[in-house]
Chain A
Amino acid sequence: MKGTLAMAFAVFAVLAGAGPAVAERLVASLSNHRVMITSNYTGVELVLFGVIERENSSSRHGDYGIVATITGPRKSLRVRQKQRLAGIWINTASRHFVDPPSYLAVLASRPLDAIAGAEVRRRMHLGIANTPLPELINNDIGEVSGDLFRAALVRLMRERGLYREESNAVTFLTPTLFRAAIDLPAQVPTGNYSVDVKLFADGDLVALSDSAFEIVKVGFEQFVVNAARESSLSYGVVTAMMALLTGWIASVAFRRD
């Protein structure tokens, strides 16, 4: 009897060492996969739920680290730098960033450096500092290390609430059940967002799970956007007529003589 138990442990140890995915499985889901922008939209908060399924409950305890990375639609940007020329501030230099994410949230259960080592974080693009933000320089696309423009891009995006990194955003409700709030401010762009959840134990990646959601305009908001894009001339004429009608109504309503 004692022998079988020892053997079971041995088998487990081998399995755990050979393929970590066998030991833990990560199941994650979002509270909503479709965020709808209506006329009273002021931003939204999605909730990410996840469960760690373990083969053997007596294995690893309390060493789990979760990192959830939410990436929004990618759009090329130009970061411009002002310099003083003849007494006035002028945009003198600029850099073209190729398809940086328009929204990037890195939510973790602990500080990133306590979850994984520097090499692992760099390789897995964990955290904003390790996210590639390639630039177009002389027809070459590449990363520029220690770049002031890259630092400015991250700083400006953080100020707008579009880039965020929080080391206490993922909370464990039980040792295997966790939740995280994804805060989407009103200015986040519409489009598809990917949610990438990674489970680390003792500094190694042991399981991962992917999910996604989309932000779309619906109803009246969508109608206005479609009208402005697809029948722009009639949209303009209707807007101009609306302006003249409003002006006429006011002059009739306020007629005093």
Chain B
Amino acid sequence: MQIYLPIADIPVNVFLLLAMGLAVGFISGMFGIGGGFLMTPLLIFIGVQPAVAVASVTPHVAASSFSGAITYWRRKAIDVTLAVTLLGGGIAGSAGGVALFTWLRALDQLDLVIGLSYVILLGVVGVLMVGEGARAIVRSRGGKPGEVRRPGSHVWFLGLPLKLRFKRSKIYASAIPVLAIGFIIGFLGAIMGIGGGFLLVPMLIYLLRVPTATVIGTSMVLTFLTMASATVLHAATNRLVDAVLALILMVGGVVGAQFGAHAGQRIRAEWLRLFLGLLVLAVGLRFASQLVLRPDDLYSIRVIGGPP
């Protein structure tokens, strides 16, 4: 069944969009990520203009992360203090990111910077996660306890002033690194058009030593808050949010996220990290190949005054 999207200006198959929403929603519910870094390339692949894709994916990510967050809330797997502190840094970071975004767009090199950031970030994060996940699996196979005592629990930056007690995560740490992580996520999110869950989850685990039990739910709270405000900002500034496209994606997305969240609870944490690492790495390689391989057509068209 074809439907004409009013803002994207193309007809698309409703069932294809629903299936895409379902699949990405499942992954996002399972790993506690927004899924924007998967959905945006998929939409561009089926013919949606990149700028409309980025803008319309934000409400989809908001919906699936909100639905996931409610599920984790019922399981008491959300650290509210941590989420609010991260959000504080995130808002400041978004403002900085939007400023840089505008400047790069004026230089006409935004596409390149976005491509390079995806390759570098996804590549580094993917390699780290795969390596760590594989090591953890090897350790548990060797008969030793899966969760060895995390070394360096007394990292210097957790001992900075402004100490806060994050009760549910059972950590007592300085608010400064938490705000800094929030800032980095907000900054990168604004430039790359992503929620940043795939970056936030490993940062919380490896840098703040947040236990896996609360990390995903907390990441989802931050994601839905930033993505809901990003939807309003995208709609108010560049007017490229396609509400019809977003609604179809989010209906598939929220259903998928529910099943994903249940599936995620049953999979061992180290396997979860390995799978997410492989996924992140795969998307990073895809972006790298676009930059390195000779494009089919060396020329491209952009409507002046339109999206990049």
Q: Are A244 and B236 in contact (CB under 8 A)?
A: no
Let me know if A42 and B4 touch, CB within 8 A. Answer: yes
Measured in the bound complex, the distance between the Cα atoms of B292 and A14 in whole Å is 69
User: Which interface class (under 10, 10 to 19, 20 to 34, 35 or more) fits A?
Assistant: 35 or more
Check B233–A239 contact: CB distance below 8 A: no
- In the complex, what's the smallest C-beta–C-beta distance from B222 to chain A, in angstroms? 15
Q: Tell me which of A77, A88, A248 contacts B303 (CB under 8 A).
A: A77
Known: A235-B235, A236-B233. A248 touches B228 (CB 8 A): no
Quick one: given A236-B234, A250-B257, are A244 and B63 in contact (CB under 8 Å)? yes
Tell me if B224 counts as interface (CB < 8 A to partner A).
yes
Q: Are B262 and A224 in contact (CB under 8 A)?
A: no
Query: Are B304 and A78 neighbours in the complex by a CB distance under 8 Å?
Result: yes
Size of the chain B interface, CB-CB below 8 angstroms? 65
Q: Which residues of B contact A78 (CB under 8 A)?
A: 301-304
**Is A7's beta carbon under 8 Å from chain B?**
no
Task: Say yes or no: A37 contacts B59, CB within 8 Å.
Answer: no
Do residues A80 and B71 form an inter-chain contact, with CB atoms below 8 A?
Answer: no
B255 — nearest CB in chain A belongs to which residue? A250
**Complex Cα–Cα for A40 and B2 (A):** 6
Chain A residues positioned under 8 Å from B7 (CB to CB): 224-225, 228
A 121-159 binary contact with B (CB < 8 Å = 1; else 0): 000000000000000000000000000010011011100
A156 touches B299 (CB 8 A): yes
Q: Which residues of A contact B2 (CB under 8 A)?
A: 40, 42
Contact indicator B300/A236 (Cβ below 8 Å)? no
B291 (CB) vs chain A CBs: closest residue: A88
CA distance A40 to B60 in the complex (A): 23
Q: Does B104 contact A (CB under 8 A)?
A: no
B298 in the interface, Cβ–Cβ < 8 Å? yes
Report the separation of the CA atoms of residues A82 and B246 in the bound assembly, to the nearest whole angstrom: 32
Complex Cα–Cα for A99 and B87 (A): 45
Judge whether B231 is part of the interface by a CB distance below 8 angstroms.
yes
Contact indicator B262/A246 (Cβ below 8 Å): no
Residue A33 is within 8 A (CB to CB) of chain B in the complex: no
Contact with B along A79-117 (1 / 0, CB 8 A): 111111001111100101000000000000000000000
Q: Is the CB–CB distance between A39 and B74 below 8 Å? A: no
Per a CB cutoff under 8 Å, which of A81, A96, A217, A220 touches B298?
A: A81
Given the interface pairs A232-B236, A250-B254, the reply to whether A240 lies near B228 with Cβ below 8 Å is: yes
Residues of A within 8 A of B (CB): 37-43, 75-84, 87-91, 94, 96, 149, 152-153, 155-157, 186-187, 189, 217, 220-222, 224-225, 228-229, 232-233, 235-240, 242-244, 246-251, 254-257
7 contacts between A and B (CB under 8 A): A40-B4, A187-B10, A228-B235, A236-B235, A240-B229, A246-B251, A250-B63
- Which residues of B are interface residues toward A (Cβ below 8 A)? 2-4, 6-7, 9-11, 59-60, 62-71, 74, 108-109, 111-112, 116, 224, 227-229, 231-237, 239, 241, 243-244, 246-247, 250-251, 254-255, 257-259, 262, 291-295, 297-305
5 further contact pairs, Cβ within 8 A, besides A43-B11, A222-B6, A247-B257: A77-B304, A78-B302, A83-B298, A236-B231, A244-B63
